[in-house]
Chain A
Amino acid sequence: MVEWTDAERSAITGLWGKISVDEMGPQALARLLIVAPWTQRHFASFGNLSSPAAIIGNPKVANHGKTVMGGLDRAVKNLDNIKATYAQLSVMHSEKIHVDPDNFRLLSDCITVCVAMKFGPSCFTPDVQEAWQKFLAVVASALSRQYH
């Protein structure tokens, strides 16, 4: 069971409350596809991914970014039970989509960079970064849990 301090809980929920999924989801996913282009393997049907500009302007990427980032909401609302909350999603990522779990870490890092850029040093302090990265690591672990 993951143990969260009060400070961590409040950092995570506080940040989540300020994040616009519609704004940041597309940014984070686009950044992933640009920074780690091998992740494009899952998006052959998305059309033009041939350049950073194409990726950033691609509406399918934007929509999917919102879906993926929106998925974090259930984890924030179930901090004490993320593993169970994501059991089905984990099976889906393994059996249906066949995502290498290392990609969860890559996307987490891109999300962290977007959050850092948006909120700056006075909000995204080292302690807040610690809580946020711990949260994303727990999410990644839960998503990897049902792989076999």
Chain B
Amino acid sequence: MSLTVKNKDTIKSFWAKVAPRAEEIGTDALSRMLVVYPQTKTYFSHWKDLSPGSAPVRKHGKTVMSGVAEAVSKIDDLTNGLLTLSELHAFQLRVDPANFKILSHNLLVVLAIQFPDDFTPEVHVAMDKFLSAVALALSEKYR
């Protein structure tokens, strides 16, 4: 299920609209993930406040979205482009890769909310494929 040329064009043009609101989108996606999938809170026991829109959630939402932005810029070779991030997730954070799917889902929900006119089925499938490809690249160094 690799990204076609058309998928990549769709992703890059959609991302141009997303980028200015990246922090807000990242914050909302993370907030929703923590509420809808409470098992994900286990990775953030060191935060004082896990409620939607809290300071640590906001800060981390921004971090996550800059990772996604990096992935967009390296869309032609995600595996090599995201090696460092993969090492981080594999050796330090040790996030179970099943959670990448969960966060991806919440990102898609927020994109749908924020871009009801742009998030057509074609954009949806391209973004879903992209986030799956990013998840795969992030899992690269796990074992």
Chain A interface residues (CB < 8 Å from chain B): 30-31, 34-35, 52, 55-56, 109, 112-114, 116-118, 120-121, 124, 126-127, 129-130, 133
Residues of chain A with a CB closer than 8 A to B32's CB:
126, 129
Nearest CB of B to A33, in Å: 9
Contact indicator B35/A31 (Cβ below 8 Å): no
Residues of chain B with a CB closer than 8 A to A113's CB:
108-109, 112, 119, 124
Please list 17 pairs of residues, one from A and one from B, whose beta carbons are closer than 8 Å in the complex, sorted by A's number.
A31-B121, A35-B125, A56-B121, A109-B105, A112-B109, A113-B109, A113-B112, A116-B109, A116-B110, A116-B113, A117-B113, A117-B116, A120-B113, A121-B28, A121-B113, A121-B114, A126-B32
Residues of chain A with a CB closer than 8 A to B128's CB:
35
Residues of chain B with a CB closer than 8 A to A30's CB:
121
Residues of chain A with a CB closer than 8 A to B108's CB:
109, 113
Nearest CB of B to A102, in Å: 12
Q: Could you tell me how many residues of chain B have their Cβ less than 8 Å away from some Cβ of chain A?
A: 21
Per-residue CB contact flags for chain B residues 24-39 toward chain A (1 = under 8 Å, else 0) read 0000100110011000
Interface presence of B56 (CB below 8 A): no
Which of B35, B119, B121, B124 contacts A129, CB < 8 Å? B35
Residues of chain A with a CB closer than 8 A to B122's CB:
34, 52
Contact indicator A52/B121 (Cβ below 8 Å): yes
Most buried by B among A52, A112, A120, A129: A129
Contact A126 to B124, CB < 8 A, known contacts A116-B109, A117-B112, A117-B116:
no
Residues of chain A with a CB closer than 8 A to B114's CB:
121
Which secondary structure dominates where chain B touches chain A? helix
Contact indicator B36/A133 (Cβ below 8 Å): yes
Interface presence of B52 (CB below 8 A): yes
Q: When chains A and B are docked, how far (Å) is the Cα of A121 from the Cα of B5?
A: 32
Most buried by A among B52, B109, B122: B109
B106-143 contacts to A (CB < 8 Å): 108-110, 112-114, 116, 119-122, 124-125, 128
Contact indicator B109/A127 (Cβ below 8 Å): no
Residues of chain B with a CB closer than 8 A to A114's CB:
112
